[in-house]
Structure 1
Amino acid sequence: MIRIVIAEDQKMLRGALTSLLQLEDDLEVVAQVTDGEEALDAVEKHRPDLCLLDIEIPKMTGLEVAEKVREKGLPSKIIIVTTFTRPGYLQKAMELKVEGYLLKDEPIDFLVDAIRSVVKGQRVISTDLAPILFNREENPLTEREQEVLRLAAEGETTAQIANNLFLSKGTVRNYLSTAIQKMGVVSRYRAIQKAQEKGWI
């Protein structure tokens, strides 16, 4: 029996996924959760064979959960499911060596086959994502620039970012200016937008 934890914040989709997977004789959903913190708790508690993680879940993203699972040395295999084809997300998933990365518009049969393949030690990726792997674009932003842009995206002012990161306002402005230049755009807003589209923040 393949034991699965599902992390998906959309109630209807989570319920539908659980119901469909439970129809298979060899699959058992041992926990279904709505956010990243609950997902990590469920993995530690149930030690499932596989975690099915949506990227865009509250508190911790699916990728952050995957990173914690790896750091803690938990044995669960990981399949990321997402609606996004953002290169940065896929790149991060590959760096974390997740076993599967699937788009949500795949048929349920594809997901079921992917689960079985991953548990047997194979890696599975949606066919539509293959071109992104071959045309990989490196993230030009430093970790600090990403952090500053992420806080700016959350609506924080330069002063608030400076206070949160224990930096001077001038240093924060410099990070923002450098990020804007690297993104090849003319404003903080466009830099945030582009970095989000790429999956870099």
Structure 2
Amino acid sequence: MIRVLIADDQSLVRGALAALLDLEPDITVVAQCGNGNEVLPLIQEHQVDVALVDIEMPGLNGLEVAAAIREAKSPCRCLIVTTFGRAGYVKTALHNGAQGFLLKDAPPEQLAEAVRQIRAGMRVIDPEMRDQVLLSADSPLTPREVDVAREALSGADTRAIAAALHMRPGTVRNHVSSIIAKTQASNRFEAARLARDHGWL
């Protein structure tokens, strides 16, 4: 049996995915959670083979969970299952150690087959995303610019960003200018939104 964990902050989605996968003769859902911080302990406790992880969750987001699983050298393999079909997210997910990326509107049989393929050591990318991934540009943002853009996306001003990231206001302004130039935006909020929509955050 393939032992699966489902991590999604929407309980209805978790329940639906679990019900679908439990219909499969070779797959069993052994754990569920709604917070990214709970994933690694549950993987270890339940000897999970494949973790199905949403991107946007409280605690660690799905992309961070994939990196945490890799860094822990866990034999568990990670499949991102999300509504956010952005090429940048796919690239980040794979870079962080995820073995697959599926959209939530994929047919049920495609989800089950993806779990089997990932357990067998293969990599799976949603067919709708493959061309986008091949044609999309890599993120031009540095890790620190990503941090600044995330704070800007929440509406924080320069002082608030500086305080949150333990930086000088002048340094924040330099990063903001760079982000605006790289996204060809007119202001910090538009730049942060464009970076998010490209899947760079």
Give how far 1:95 is off: 1.3
Contact 1:47 1:74 in 2 (8 A): no
Q: Which residue of 2 aligns with 1:58?
A: 58
Contact 2:70 2:97 in 1 (8 A): no
**Which one-letter code corresponds to 2:61 in the other structure?**
T
Q: Which residue of 2 aligns with 1:120?
A: 120
Q: Which residue of 1 aligns with 2:34?
A: 34
Q: Which residue of 1 aligns with 2:87?
A: 87
Q: Which residue of 2 aligns with 1:196?
A: 196
Q: Distance in 2 between matches of 1:159 and 1:96?
A: 31
Q: Distance in 2 between matches of 1:32 and 1:166?
A: 35
Q: TM-score, normalised by structure 2?
A: 0.95
Q: What is the alpha-carbon root mean square deviation over aligned residues?
A: 1.3
Q: Which residue of 2 aligns with 1:160?
A: 160
Deviates more, 1:130-139 or 1:159-168: 159-168
Contact 1:4 1:29 in 2 (8 A): yes
Give how far 1:160 is off: 1.8
**Which one-letter code corresponds to 2:105 in the other structure?**
D
**Which one-letter code corresponds to 1:171 in the other structure?**
T
Q: Which residue of 1 aligns with 2:135?
A: 135
Deviates more, 1:27-36 or 1:135-144: 135-144
Equivalent residue of 1:101, what SS?
strand
Q: Distance in 2 between matches of 1:121 and 1:131?
A: 22
Contact 1:4 1:51 in 2 (8 A): yes
Contact 2:94 2:100 in 1 (8 A): no
Unaligned runs of 5+ in 2: none
Unaligned runs of 5+ in 1: none
Contact 1:52 1:78 in 2 (8 A): yes
- Identity rate, percent: 43
Equivalent residue of 2:164, what SS?
helix
